[in-house]
Structure 1
Amino acid sequence: MKNINLFTLIRNIFFGVLCLGFSNVALSQARPIEEGFDYRVMPVAQVTESKGKIEVLEFFWYGCPHCHDFEPELSAWIAKQGKDVVVKKVPVAFRDELLPHSQLFYALDSLGRNDLHAKVMVAMHVNKKKLLAEAEIADWVASQGIDRQAFLKAFKSFTVTSKARAANQIAQAYRIDGVPTVAVQGKYLTSPSIAGGSKVRATQAMDFLVNKVRKEKK
Structure 2
Amino acid sequence: MKLMQRRDFSATLVGAGALALGLPAAAQGGIVEGTHYVRLGQPVPVTVPAGKVEVVEFFWYGCPHCNAFEPMLEAWVKKMPDFVAFRRVPVQFREEPFGTHQRIFYALEAMGRLETMHRKVFFAIHNDRQRLDKPADIAAFMTKNGVDGAKVVELMGSFAVQTKARQAKQLAEAYKIDGVPALGIQGRFYTSGSLAGGQDRMVLVAEYLIQASRKV
> Which residue is 1:208 aligned to?
208
Q: CA deviation at 1:133?
A: 0.6
Query: Partner of 1:39 in structure 2?
Result: 37
SS of residue matched to 1:193: helix
The two structures have a TM-score, normalised by structure 2, of 0.82
> 2-side partners of 1:107 and 1:128: how far apart?
21
Structure 2 residue ranges without an equivalent (≥5): 1-21
| Equivalent-residue separation in structure 1 for 2:134 and 2:75 (angstroms) | 31
Partner of 1:59: 58
Shift of 1:139: 0.8
Residue 215 of structure 1 deviates from its aligned partner by 2.1
* Contact residue 38 and residue 201 of structure 1 kept, 8 A: no
CA–CA distance in 2 between the matches of 1:167 and 1:186? 14
Q: How does 1:17-166 map to 2 (within 5 A)?
A: 31-32=25-26, 33-52=31-50, 53-98=52-97, 99-115=99-115, 116-166=117-167
Residue 85 of structure 1: CA displacement?
Answer: 0.9
SS of the residue corresponding to residue 196 of structure 2 reads: coil
Give the CA deviation at 1:186.
0.3
In the other structure, the counterpart of 1:178 is: 179
Partner amino acid, structure 2, of 1:49: T
Structure 2 CA distance for aligned equivalents of residues 72 and 59 of structure 1: 15
| Cα shift readout 1:53-111 (whole Å, capped 9, x = no counterpart) | 21111111111111111111111111111121111111111111221100000000011
> What SS does the aligned partner of 2:86 have?
strand
Cα distance in 2 for residues equivalent to 1:36 and 1:96: 30
Aligned AA (2:182): T
Q: 2:132 is matched by which residue type in structure 1?
A: L
Q: Is the 8 A contact 2:141 2:149 kept in 1?
A: no
Contact 1:46/1:186 (<8 A) preserved:
yes
1:55–1:186 contact (8 Å) kept in structure 2: yes
CA-based RMSD of the aligned residues comes to: 1.7
In the TM superposition, residue 181 of structure 1 has moved relative to its aligned partner by: 0.9
Percent identity over the alignment? 41
Report how far residue 211 of structure 1 moved.
Answer: 1.2
Say how many residue pairs are matched: 188
Distance in 1 (alpha carbons) for counterparts of 2:149 and 2:180: 30
* Displacement after TM superposition at 1:149 (Å): 2.7
Q: Deviations over 1:153-172 (max 9, x none)?
A: 22221111121122111111
Following TM superposition, by how much is the alpha carbon of 1:31 offset from its aligned partner in structure 2, in angstroms? 3.7
Equivalent position SS for 1:177 = coil
More relative contact order in 1 or in 2 (CA 8 Å, sep 6+)? 2
Query: Conserved in 2, the CA contact under 8 Å of 1:184 and 1:210?
Result: yes
Match of 1:82, SS? coil
What SS does the corresponding residue of 1:67 show, helix, strand or coil? Answer: helix
Tell me the TM-score normalized by structure 1: 0.81
Q: Which has the larger radius of gyration?
A: 1
